[in-house]
Structure 1
């Protein structure tokens, strides 16, 4: 049976393409939602852009007929704009004030449910609004189109039990043919001897050749003074140092080495091997807790507090490659040499970034639309690395299941130009590891 989905304002502002995500079901937009969208249209941020995009879509659909009577959608459903009336207010709960837009939207949805024989579902990303809808007997759900179950997120690596002869064959010929279809492209694996668990091999699946190949020899050496401390970091380095992989995602809790590994590999490929013009490191500007407000100084001075975590990692790497007794270099020396650039993501729209090794730190604070904007900036020869921890989100408009980082991991896991690793073992310090696990 066809359903009627009543959409809240935040659904359309979160995903301006939401009108095409409900298959052949009918969509209902209360007139109050259009009023709210109008208040956002002048904003210069992503929400403002989404509001303008939704308004243009509705204006185009208006050419097909009356929005109140209903206009057809491309997927076979119908779109209706539901007017607010005094009859809806009369039948609504007196405990909820109708001078609030959220309650008027709820009143419209409840009235539709009472007058319609088909299932009516209220879709909103507002948790409290879903609770109120449920209390009024209205079925409500979150917008699920771009959600990824964080507990089921693709990890990028696995273990394979094989006979000892197969592992010996792998070491003997330097590869192992693999015809099964249970691995994703560039998925890493640990081959384990069925009879001797200590007899293992670390491999990566190359889908184009249908072979399990050993990790790059360079992974075992130091990369800008950094050695992989565990198996997951070895897998990460293998993906980061392979120029054929254009998109790498690293997910892990605090202290697992995501940013440090990415910057070390970027400096190796850009500064030492000159495969890229420069290393570009960026991160979204989101404060943890209360914002300090406007910062004094020029653009560089204003950005310094936001970029300080990146500076710390670069200084650590520069200190690691310096020999004892020599002058310690700073990150500004690499910037002056044109080997590295550090900037926020604020002004990335409209840019084309060719032949660069680009690291986007704290990518869990980005929405799927912002992630799309960043990746589509990649020009010829550019490699993009996204790092982040889905459990440490400062952006109030995304959560662990709906952020851009996990969205990309799920969408790109079957692509041969992408690779992913989830890092679980903290290596920053014993205290940091205990805090990440206990607190």
Structure 2
């Protein structure tokens, strides 16, 4: 009897025409036909065991070659419920593509490649990266050497960086150079990383449009080569050059700006010196309140000792105000002392009233009243005033200075200085003495002195001229270039346009103060003319943040302009 066809899949039912044919009318053929009909007929639920039996019988009818086919690799995979495992090549590719992400998640330290402008901007920048490592290319050292000559701040910073690197590289062997020099060697405990110098030629392939002779492109090539060598580590370029960062990102290289010198990323969070009290302030802070008056001085003040949830957020010499819409008298106070959740508040002198005018000037708004309370306080040695153009910063400072120099005799002289940074093109060198050279920069001083000049009707022209000469004799105009090494004793120092000063220059000026000296810093951080300063890195922002809360300093941000309606509208829309 001939054998049926070999099934292509296991447990495949045979077609009736594939059954072996016998004689007509034979019992065996009829039985086979009936069996095949029973197999092909759709079975109901009770007949399921019958289908399984028929399938089993059909599988038993398979011959030996069919059993060989079932033992093949393909048949075993078909019979198995498990999926086909991936090949080793696929697994290796997946691991390689996620190596950088896994390295970042594992907490591996980064390697920062510093551009020269970062070191010249902040000579201590190599100690500002915490546990991460620093890499200095040879081209960076060459640029430092090229900029070390001169008396500018850039040259001074370059020389300071060179001295620091020389101290770090002193008394070390070749292995330390290869393995990195500990940045904590000079006592900087916060710097836990290591310093690496370029000791070999780094091979990198840059686009044709980037000539390798340029120093910036050489540094980009080094970053690219280091990224290829240390694939499991993040290599980051740090530069103050915007175009260099753009080129690095275009090449797929991580690049960042140096932000460690910025006090605040958002200047809206800068300390304003003023706090608005909620309407329920006395209900939440008046329990157990103590109050008393002090009449020992020329001005009587009322003091309040309060306790409440807002006290921890207050700072010494911060101004508080509560203005109720019902027409009640507003409450203005100054924080004089803080101890835990207890604070002492002092009421203010109302300089908006004509009887309390300062050299003929009265406060026109709330913030000006706060500023005059600071300016006329002999216990406040350092005052900063911020505000847009026309808010009265210079006028209030000069009025307070003249009143305390010529009337109260608290100070013996006013020293007025400012940064000589032009708004437009530089007009070149100026002839004359130091004061004559500074006269073109002192237009703001002359304009405000005209407003403050008191007309003397009794003396006539001679009396007015004598008064003006007296005022001029008590005001000295000085240049910032000659401040180093000086000491001011019993002076009222006004630093105008202080937003153009760097933190180092600001430190140099403030440390000139001797006994009995008061220093005022005025400026608008929205009008910075120095090309390498921002609102966050300005020296004025720096001192406002550092001096807040000190018992002998105060700060007020003047909010409303009082120059003219034209100036106010221009400040808002332009």
Q: TM-score, normalized by length of structure 1? A: 0.91
Please state whether the residue corresponding to 1:386 is helix, strand or coil. strand
Query: Does the CA-based 8 Å contact 1:32-1:84 persist in structure 2?
Result: no
Query: Alpha-carbon deviations, 1:49-91, whole Å to 9, x = none?
Result: 1111111101111114258422111122111122573613xx2
Q: 1:178 aligns with which of 306, 328, 335?
A: 306
CA distance in structure 2 between the aligned counterparts of 1:33 and 1:219, rounded to whole angstroms = 58
- Give 1:46's aligned residue: 153
Q: 1:330-345 residue pairs with structure 2 within 5 A?
A: 332-336=469-473, 339-345=474-480
What is the Cα deviation at residue 146 of structure 1?
2.2
Q: How does 1:70-149 map to 2 (within 5 A)?
A: 70-74=180-184, 75-83=191-199, 85=201, 87-88=203-204, 91-116=205-230, 117-147=232-262, 148=264, 149=266
Deviation readout 1:214-246 (Å, 9 max, x if unpaired): 113567411111111100111111111112222
Give the corresponding residue for 2:566.
431
Change (3 A) 1:172 1:245: closer
The residue aligned with 2:345 is: 212
Shift in CA distance, 301/165, structure 1 to aligned 2, threshold 3 Å: closer
Deviations 1:327-369 (A, max 9, x none): 3347653343xx2211121111121222211110001101111
Q: Distance in 2 between matches of 1:420 and 1:84?
A: 53
The whole-number CA distance in structure 2 between the counterparts of 1:359 and 1:298 is 21
Q: 2:320 aligns with which of 173, 189, 193?
A: 189
What is the rounded CA distance, in whole Å, between the counterparts of 1:292 and 1:260 in structure 2?
Answer: 27
Asked if structure 1 preserves the Cα contact closer than 8 Å seen for 2:381 and 2:519, the reply is yes
Ranges in structure 1 where 5+ consecutive residues have no aligned partner? none
Contact kept in structure 2, 1:159 and 1:189, CA below 8 Å: yes
Q: Give aligned pairs, total.
A: 432
Alpha-carbon distance in structure 2 between the residues aligned to 1:135 and 1:53: 33
Give the match for residue 66 of structure 2: none
SS at match of 1:178: strand
Q: Are the counterparts in 1 of residues 352 and 365 from structure 2 also a CA contact under 8 Å?
A: no
Mapped partners of 1:178, 1:77: distance in 2: 48
Residues 372-397 of structure 1 show CA distances to partners (whole Å, capped at 9, x for unaligned) of 11112222222211111111111111
Larger Rg: 2
What aligned pairs does 1:211-360 form with structure 2 within 5 A after superposition? 211-216=344-349, 220=353, 221-317=356-452, 319=453, 321-324=454-457, 326-327=460-461, 328-329=464-465, 332-336=469-473, 339-360=474-495
- Which residue of structure 1 lines up, in the alignment, with residue 525 of structure 2? 390
Higher normalized contact order (CA 8 Å, seq sep 6+, divided by chain length) = 1
Change (3 A) 1:81 1:356: same
RMSD between aligned residues: 2.4
Q: CA deviation at 1:311?
A: 2.4
For residues 416 and 276 of structure 2, what CA distance do their matches in structure 1 show?
A: 33
**d(CA) in 2 for partners of 1:8, 1:224:** 53
Given candidates 145, 150, 156, the residue that maps to 2:273 is 156
Q: How far, CA to CA, are the matches of 2:497 and 2:523 in structure 1? A: 5
1:130/1:208 CA distance change after superposition, 3 Å: same
